[in-house]
Copies of this chain bind each other. A is one copy, B any other.
Amino acid sequence: MRAELIAVGTELLLGQIVDTHSAYLSQELSRLGIDVYYHSTVGDNRGRLQEVIRLAKSRSDIVIFTGGLGPTEDDLTKEALAEVLGVSLIEHAPSLEHIRGFFKARGLTMPEANRKQAMVFPGGVVFPNPNGTAPGVAVTHDQVTYVLLPGPPVELIPMFEDHVRSFLHGLLPHDEVVVSRVLRFYGIGESHLEEKVGHILRQQSNPTIAPLAKEGEVTLRLTAKAASEAEAQALIQPVRQALLEVVGKYCYSDNDEPLERICIRRLTEQQRTVALAESCSGGLLAETLTSIPGSSQAVKGGIVSYSNEAKERLLQVPASVLERFGAVSMEAALHMAEGARAALNTDFALSITGVAGPEPAEEKPVGLVYVGLAEKGQPSRAYRLQLSGSRRKIQIRSVKHAMFILQERLKKGETT
């Protein structure tokens, strides 16, 4: 099955927003075993949109549109498609009721413009949208299936998760399942990883092995197609084994569990707590760990000690240490971690202090970062990193390193 994605919206062509929908949908389709051969982006222009539709129709089995389902005159995805297919849209009463209710809940009356959002394709499918007004719609015509989804990720993603994925799954030949397994690696770069396992990558067929470099880490996604889940897993197993034999020491998760989730899970399992002290990462470590549901048991709190004053007042880092070694130092990292641990009375504390850039600081180079780990009843430790890249990249990598260190320490705790 060949799929094509069409992102509709002049704001995409003006570069005002980045098209994340296509990446999201492509990943999801890939997991379903549907091959995406084309992405296009087109503006809110009926003529060009219809051109793109006719092209897609001629070369793909599934065409997925995002955007252009709003109430304004510029929103024309449904209308353009209906015209190309030569069908008339019909009003869908439950959708109209939902849209009216959406406005009523905000103490407003539905503007007439929104009425067209309740128009759907006869004989097609309607996907409810609890996070917005426009329902998604789908219709199959002349052996091509068209799926029209809202643009905003907060509407698109739940709709896909709850309804569209199973709809697409239903389009697939039923004698096949697709199973993926993701291995996550830290401490090795993409080119080196590919070099080490190149012989395995070159021989891949089923499962396929897809490397992906993320900021500061690399993943390998193994995807197998077979007649049943069990058979697919049996195909994956030896390939996973072969990969781990070569690069297993860099693999921190073999079931796609990100660092933050591992940290929270292990802390929760061991009933232990952590406090955070951040300087150059500005709150990103706290934000990352607390993004995991249920983290409130494990993460008592954090301190963003952006200024030296804050380090002294909130973390009890002695002024003499800051004077002598600077805020970007092994000593500061150790004191910050110990100060956070004591202030919040936790089992562990992590600290990050460094030069995120773009300017050097304290005559220290951009990318010099210290990560500290304090532990109740144990000596504190600090680690020196020399990172490169943009400010944001350095912040993200520092945060990943801090989490990597914590989950490694907690791993040892599992055998204690």
Contact = CB atoms under 8 A, between A and B. Distances in A.
A344 B313 contact: yes
Interface in A376-405: 389-390, 392-393
A307 B297 CA distance: 8
Given A16-B210, A276-B304, A287 B296 contact: no
A100 B413 CA distance: 43
Given A15-B28, A39-B41, A210-B16, A301 B310 contact: yes
A123 interface: no
Given A191-B71, A301-B305, A37 B26 contact: no
Contacts of A40: 38-41
Nearest to A306: B301
Given A18-B23, A296-B307, A306-B302, A12 B39 contact: yes
Work out how many copies of this chain go into the complex: 2
| Range, interface on chain A | 35 or more
A180 to B, nearest CB: 10
Nearest to A14: B30
A296 B301 contact: no
20 contacts: A10-B210, A12-B22, A12-B39, A13-B26, A13-B38, A14-B26, A16-B212, A18-B20, A38-B40, A40-B40, A72-B191, A154-B393, A283-B283, A283-B284, A283-B285, A283-B286, A300-B306, A300-B310, A302-B304, A310-B344
